[in-house]
Structure 1
Amino acid sequence: MPVETSLNRSMTSKAVKAIKPSGIRKFFDLLAGMDGAISLGVGEPDYITPWHIREAAIYALEHGRTMYTSNAGTPELRQEIARYLSRVHGLEYNPLGEIVVTVGVSEALDLAARAILDPGDEVIIPDPSYVSYPSCITLAGGIPVPVPTWEAESFELNPKDVAKAITPRTRAILLGYPANPTGAVMPYDKLAELAIVAERHNLIVLSDEIYNRLTYGVTVPSFASLPGMKERTVVLNGVSKAYSMTGWRIGYAAGPKEIIAGMTKIHQYTMLCASSMGQAAAIEALKNGEPDIQAMVEDYNHRRQVMVSGFNSLGLSCFDPRGAFYAFPSIKSTGLSSDEFAERLLKDEKVAVVPGTAFGQQGEGYLRCCYATSLPQIEESLERIKRFLSRL
């Protein structure tokens, strides 16, 4: 076997080669420039950021607050995050050392993975799960270990399956509930079982809670609020989804001081700090945005019911999502793969959905459809899918 040298070595790293381009962005790019197309693909609220939040950013601009902030974020925002976590989840964090503000929750995940993982460390993730999970772990030198979840079990991560997947190299469990792409939530009893597994094997838990406030008839606790879990959990959250602030790119992490210090150190040499104007807007969101959340959740719930019942009426059985803003209908009855169905639907009827395989092997036979779009768009997309199915 020839030895790799600087003369024949690839220009990109092995880690970069190991990750796949986002399956979500692939269909978003195909959609660009397609007249009359409807997108159920990108997971983004269709609401404009509420005015009082935008006004806070405008005020910051008008008063010249456009400079760098502390690497960890402004003291005011970290204090407001601490108040929010105390008010909503009963969690007490010191804003001076246990909270770091990041450029979206995606950066928080990246920083957490790089802060805790050594090369070859394993991280257990649900399958299906958000597309960034395996890639962030791989780029940090770790090895993602998918644990299958099943529609018959409401896409809940089974603690017994997690325990079976643990090896001497296992370092952490990465959770995301409410889940993207399924909309599943974990009941308290299963979270408690998972907490026992984490404690028994001395594992860190990375808990992605970005959809935590978007739930329908259920309440999802922060994993850190479970007995004994605050000391080993990094809470990953932000303002993107609940406050319709995706483009502002303000996230945060709260957790053990040692891990947050490590994350902040990496953050210093990469992003430096999050946008100062965005941080000002986030303070206003956390302080006064509760009525906005309630109004959006009520509307999302109506859209959820329309989309889920619509898929079921078309013969595409659809899991009943209890959180986030995604439906995950099964298209197994059509005989098409997820990729084939999504590509043909986009070409024939100009409806963009994301194939379930973008989220892991367990996503085969499913589609992710986002209902954070207007009701007329949802109803029109269902009519187009009906036409598409009639020709199969």
Structure 2
Amino acid sequence: MDVIPGAWRRTAAGAGLLSAAGEVAPTIFAEMSAAAVRTGAINLGQGFPDEDGPAAVLEAAREAIAAGANQYPPGRGIPDLLEAISAHQRRFYRLVVDPATEVLVTAGATEALTATLLALIDSPDDEVVVFEPYYDSYAAAVALAGARLRTVPLRAPGFQPDLGELADAVTDRTRIILVNDPHNPTGAVFGDEVQREIVRLAERHDAIIVTDEVYEHLSFASPHIPLATLPGAAERTLTISSAGKTFSTTGWKIGWVHGPAALITAVLTVKQYLTYVNGSPFQPAIALGLRLPDAVFADAASALRAKHALLGEALRTAGFEVHAPQGGYFTVADATALGGADAAAFCRTLPERAGVVAIPISAFVSAARRDDYAGLVRFAACKRVDVLEEAARRLAGLRGA
């Protein structure tokens, strides 16, 4: 008996979730993390920090558990967190968001994104435009929603989209333009011209803008500017973010989405059948975190910027060509000069050669474009300084290897 219905089997296979034998296909992330464990290599592949976030946020979670906040919270999220998210958007971006009708707490940004796509895709003819390379869950979520994925390439060195290619990709079939800014994996921050063109095309083709802004407080080159703040954007934009990256609490999975009330209601309709609710004692802790002084947010960005500088110098010393990020957790480097023209093969040998794990950028692109990113490798800078210093020492040996 086929326990996976045919339509779902085709969808999963199309998203790269199943092997040819119908088994769950392991990701490059799982493969490289296993290599780190097997070899004792430093894992700069997966994007999670190895330090805790603000002590006040952690203590608030402990207090909430002790106070009995251990059962289901309200479906939209606890009122205090909804208020805190609204106040945060007003404080940092002058966005006015109704906490009662325009905010929804989710199990991280990934659930917010998946629920949004499932809620808003109407037809198999609907298209979702994304910027490539893209966070790997995007293609899977688009496939599960039954839509078509259209990609716009981001090319080194600046990883900014060509506006002509963007205009070609957005058509009357476009249901959603999905924007990740600051961008994973490239570390790019989109410029004003790109942002304005995204909004113009969305208006012209009556598309919805969905933004993934989880690195909003980790932008180095300039303050983060949400697309929803641009003229004409708020009424057609769903803004997604989470606490994991800002407060180094990736395991808590507290995210949110805000936007027009009708769209949020549609997302809630789907979300209630996914996780229903989540993270009851973590929600008041994140509410507290979002109200912390500005210095806490600025210091987090400053500390990560310094880590990127340390990692970037180590990679240059080792012989990589480094594309310095403008935001986020990751530094992208070209390994071609080190024999890494095939970055996937290079990453598979790197744990044994240098005792460091990284991820090839080809893991974030469609098969048709892998050659365009063949030599590029992603390294995570969101680790302790002593860990990055040890990684630098190990990587230095590549020049003479």
Q: Give the TM bin, normalised by the shorter chain.
A: over 0.9
Paired amino acid for 2:10: K
For normalisation by structure 1, the TM-score amounts to 0.93
16, 28, 37: which one pairs with 2:33?
28
TM-superposed deviation, 1:143: 1.6
TM-superposed deviation, 1:277: 0.4
Alignment of 1:362-381 (within 5 A): 362-381=372-391
CA distance in 2, matches of 1:370, 1:133: 20
CA distance in 2, matches of 1:22, 1:142: 22
Percent identity between the two aligned chains: 28
131, 134, 137: which one pairs with 1:132?
137
CA distance in 2, matches of 1:201, 1:9: 35
Paired amino acid for 1:210: V
- Report the 3-state secondary structure (helix = DSSP H, G, I; strand = E; otherwise coil) of the residue aligned with 1:276: coil
Paired residues, number: 385
10, 14, 17: which one pairs with 2:10?
14
Contact 1:159 1:197 in 2 (8 A): no
210, 215, 228: which one pairs with 2:219?
215
- Does residue 321 (structure 1) correspond to residue 325 (structure 2)? The answer is yes
> Kindly tell me: are residues 311 and 349 of structure 1, through their superposed partners in 2, closer, same or farther at Cα, counting changes over 3 Å?
closer
Aligned to 1:86: 90
354, 359, 364: which one pairs with 2:359?
354
Aligned to 1:205: 209
Contact 2:43 2:356 in 1 (8 A): yes
Contact 2:317 2:396 in 1 (8 A): no
CA distance in 1, matches of 2:14, 2:292: 43
CA distance in 2, matches of 1:131, 1:104: 15
Alignment of 1:223-262 (within 5 A): 223-262=227-266
- Does residue 341 (structure 1) correspond to residue 346 (structure 2)? The answer is yes
Task: Provide the aligned C-alpha RMSD in A.
Answer: 2.0
5+ residue gaps, structure 2: 17-25
Aligned to 1:286: 290
- Report the 3-state secondary structure (helix = DSSP H, G, I; strand = E; otherwise coil) of the residue aligned with 1:241: helix
Paired amino acid for 2:44: L
**Structure 1 residues 171-203: Cα deviation after superposition (integer angstroms, max 9, x where no partner):** 111111111111110112221122111111111
- Report the 3-state secondary structure (helix = DSSP H, G, I; strand = E; otherwise coil) of the residue aligned with 2:247: coil
CA distance in 2, matches of 1:262, 1:200: 23
For normalisation by structure 2, the TM-score amounts to 0.91
5+ residue gaps, structure 1: none
- Report the 3-state secondary structure (helix = DSSP H, G, I; strand = E; otherwise coil) of the residue aligned with 1:242: helix
**Structure 1 residues 220-278: Cα deviation after superposition (integer angstroms, max 9, x where no partner):** 20010011100111100011001111111100000111211011111111211121101
Paired amino acid for 1:359: F
Aligned to 1:265: 269
Contact 1:68 1:276 in 2 (8 A): yes
> Kindly tell me: are residues 390 and 201 of structure 1, through their superposed partners in 2, closer, same or farther at Cα, counting changes over 3 Å?
same
Paired amino acid for 1:27: M
TM-superposed deviation, 1:169: 2.2
Contact 2:109 2:240 in 1 (8 A): yes
> Kindly tell me: are residues 382 and 170 of structure 1, through their superposed partners in 2, closer, same or farther at Cα, counting changes over 3 Å?
same
Aligned to 2:154: 149
Contact 1:125 1:144 in 2 (8 A): yes
